[in-house]
Amino acid sequence: MPEHVHRAIAIVGVGAVLPDAPDARRFWTNLVEGRYSIGETPPERWDPALYYDADPKAPEKTYSKIGGWVRQYDWDPLRWRLPIPPKVGDAMDRTQKWAIIATREALADYGYPERPLDRERTAVIFGNAMAGDKHYLTALRVYLPEYAQELERSESFAALPPAARTAILAETVAGVRRRLPDITEDTMPGELANIIAGRVAALFDLHGPNYICDAACASAMAAINAAVEGLEELDYDAVITGGIDGNMSASSFVKFCKIGALSATGTRPYDAGADGFVMGEGAVVFVLKRLEDAEQAGDRIYAVIRGLGGSSDGRGKGITAPNPKGQQLAVKRAWAHAGLSPATATLIEGHGTSTRVGDVVEVESLAAVFSEAGVRGRKIPLGSVKSNIGHLKGAAGAAGLLKAVLALHHKQIPPSLGLETPNPKIDFDRAPFRVNVELTPWDEVIDGARRAGVSAFGFGGTNFHTVLEEHVPGRIQRPRERVQVIGSGAPDPASKAPLRGALVIGGTSPAEVARGLRAAIDDAQRGHTPQVLAPRAHDLEAPCRIAIDYADAGELAKKGTRALEALEAGSAGHLLALRAQGVFYREGEAAKVAFLYTGQGSQYVNMLAGLARTEPVVREAFAEADAVLQPLLGRPLTELLFVPHDDASAVAAAEDRLRQTSVTQPAVLAVDVALTRLLAAYGVVPDMVMGHSLGEYGALVAAGGLPFADALEAVSARGREMMRLAVEDNGWMV
C-alpha cells in the first residue's frame, strides 16, 4: 500500500575516492570482502623518523603513524576535457582533485550527460573540515625566513666563517624550498576549503548555490542535511553533495595525539581493545533529487533519504567529549522528520570511532532511543565503516552513508571489522543491537521496506543522524492536500476537495513533447503522479509545451492519452477542444498573464491555512502581516483567521470577526500578497495586474507601487473608518 509523505529524497548517483578504492564500485567490493585498508604512513606524505615517537608525552611528536591512505587515484583532466591547466592542477590540493574525480564518477553513474540535468538548478554542497594538507606546506615556505633568521642569530652559527655561514644558509633555504610548492597566483584558490565546491561548480558549469559545511567530523552529514533542505524548499532540483577530507599532515597527527585521540595499533569499533581512532582520507559524492522527480524521470535510485536530524550537545563535560543527550536528540529528530518509528530500522551504521568513551556513549544513546521506540526481542545489526578505512573526519558521515546506501541497494549487510571481544562497558545483552561481523543477506523487512540509520558526530558537540530507506517503486507518494471553503455557515465536509495537480512538459517539437507525455502516462497508469512542484524553466520556455490539469493518476492517464492521440494525429482542432477538459497545448511565445485582485466579500475562515502549513513563502507573508497588524488589531491576524475546523464555536466566532471590515480588509490583502508570492515561487508572474475595490491595494503591492507593510496599515485604517460609518442601508457602496 502506498505511503503518503511530503518529502523524500532520492540518491541517484554515487562516486568515491577512498583508501584502496579509486571508485564506489571498488569500495563496495572491499566492504563485502572485509578488506582492512589501514597502513603505515607513505614516505612521500611525511617522514615518521622526524615526527614519530612511541612515547605519548614526547613534545611535538605523534605516537601513531598509521592511517587509511588514498594511495592511488586517476587524475587526467586533459583526457576528461576539463579546463584545468597543468600549473593550476599542480597548485590544487588533493581534496579539490578528489572532489572533481568523485563528482565526475557520480554524474556518470547518474547517466549525465545523456540523462538530463538542469545545470541552472543544480547545487554543490560539500562537507570539509580543516581544508587539506597543501596549506601547511605553503605556510612553511612563507615562514621560512623566520627560521633562517633564528639560525643566523645563533651563537654557534655566528662563530663560523662568513663564507661558511652564507653557504649553509643558502643551501638550507634552497633545500627546503625544493621540497615545498611554489607560491603563485594559483596557490590561494588551490588550497581554500570553499573552492572544493566552487571548483566542481565551475568545471561542470553548475549554477545553483555552492558552498562548504564545516561541522568537524559531522561536516559531510551537515552538508547533506543542507542539500536535502534546499531540495525540500525547491531552491534547486538536483544537488551534488557529500564529503571530502585529505588532512593527514604530520601536524594533524601530532595535535590529535596530544588529545590522546589516536590509536597506534588499529581501528576496532565497539571492541574491548578500542584505544582510539585511526585517521583516514578520501571523498564521497552523491547526486540527489526529489524522489518524485527521480521516479518520473526513470532514474535508477540507490536509496531514499527519509529524514535527517541534527542537534548540539549544549553544556557538557568538555567541548570534545561526547554527550548522550545531544546524540539522542539528533537520532529522535531524524526519525521524527521521516515520520517513522526507529523500531522499523533493520541496520544502524554507527559513528563507531573506536574510542574508549565514544563507542560506549554512542551505543548507550542508541539503545535509549530504540528501546523507547519499542524494539524488543531482536537485535539490529550495527557496524562502522571506520573499521575498514579509518575515520575520514570531515568526510566520515558520507563514507558511512555510502556504505548504508550500497547495502540497501545490494540488500546485503557488510561485516564490521575488528571485533574480537565486545567492549565490556557496552551492555550488548540489554541493548537492541549486535555488531554485524559477517557478510549477511539483508532479509529483514519491517513495515514494507528495509531501513537504516546513519550517525555522524563532531567535535564541538555537533550531532547528525540520517534515515535511509530502500527504494520500492510507487511505495512513497506525495499526499494530495485538501482545502476547505467556508462560507457564512459551519464547515461542510462536502465542500472539501483535493488540491489539483498540473503536469507541464516542454520540448523542441511536438514529437519530443509526445515522448515526455507518453512516459507520464505510463507512470499514471501505474498509479504514480508527479510531485506538485514549480514547472521547470526549460519546460515553460520550450518552443512546444503542454499542461494538463488533473486530480489523480486516473484522470491524468485519461487526459494524457487523449492529448497524446491529438498530438500524434497533428489535430489542432482536437487539441483546441481539449482546453475545456483542462488540457492546454501551445507552440511559440506564451500569452501574457493578468492577475485580478478581489474586493471584500470573498473572505472565509481559515483562508490559506493549509498552504501556510506547507508553503514557507505563504507562512512568511502571514508572519509579516502579523508583525504589522498586531499593534493595530490587538492580536496577530493569524489568530483571528486560523481556527480548528472541528470547533464549531471557534469557527462561528472567527466568521463574526471576519464580518468586521477592520479585520476583513487586512485579511484579504494578506491573502492576496501570500498567493502572489506563492505563484511567483512556482514561476507564475503577471504581466499586468488589476484590482476591484479593496483589491486595488493587492494590485498596487504586486506592481511594486506600495510596500506590503504600508498597504496593510492603509487597509486597516480604511476598515476601521468603514466600521464607524453609519448608513441606513449597509449594502450601499462607499
Q: Report strand pairing: 476-477 vs 3-4.
A: parallel
Q: What is the DSSP letter of 306?
A: E
3-class DSSP state of 410: helix
H/E element holding 671?
helix 661-681
Q: Report strand pairing: 282-290 vs 122-127.
A: unpaired
Separation in Å, CA 321 to CA 31, 352, 362, 369: 30, 14, 12, 20
Q: Report strand pairing: 594-597 vs 688-691.
A: parallel
d(CA 678, CA 617): 6
Identify the pLDDT of residue 614: 85
H/E element holding 14?
strand 9-17
Q: What is the pLDDT of residues 477-516, one digit of tens each?
A: 655 443 333 233 333 333 333 457 889 999 999 999 999 9
CA dihedral 533, 534, 537, 543 (to 10 degrees): 90
* Per-block mean pLDDT, blocks of 10 residues, the chain (734 long): 68 98 98 98 96 97 98 94 95 97 98 91 95 90 94 94 95 93 94 96 97 97 97 92 97 96 98 97 98 91 97 84 91 93 97 95 96 93 98 98 98 98 96 97 94 95 96 74 33 42 90 92 85 73 91 89 91 84 87 88 88 89 91 87 83 83 89 92 86 92 91 89 66 48
CATH 3.40.366.10 residue ranges of the chain are 595-724
Identify the pLDDT of residue 7: 74
Identify the pLDDT of residue 538: 78
Separation in Å, CA 316 to CA 277, 310, 324, 325, 393: 22, 17, 10, 10, 22
CA dihedral 282, 89, 132, 41 (to 10 degrees): 60
Residue with cell 477542444: 577
Identify the pLDDT of residue 345: 97
Superfamily of structural domain 595-724: Malonyl-Coenzyme A Acyl Carrier Protein, domain 2 (3.40.366.10)
Answer whether CATH 2.60.40.1180 is correct for domain 3-132+193-469.
no
CATH 3.40.47.10 residue ranges of the chain are 3-132+193-469
For domain 482-591, the CATH class is alpha beta
Identify the pLDDT of residue 296: 85
3-class DSSP state of 451: strand
Closest CA to 697 of 688, 707, 687, 683: 707
Identify the pLDDT of residue 173: 94
CATH 3.30.70 residue ranges of the chain are 482-591
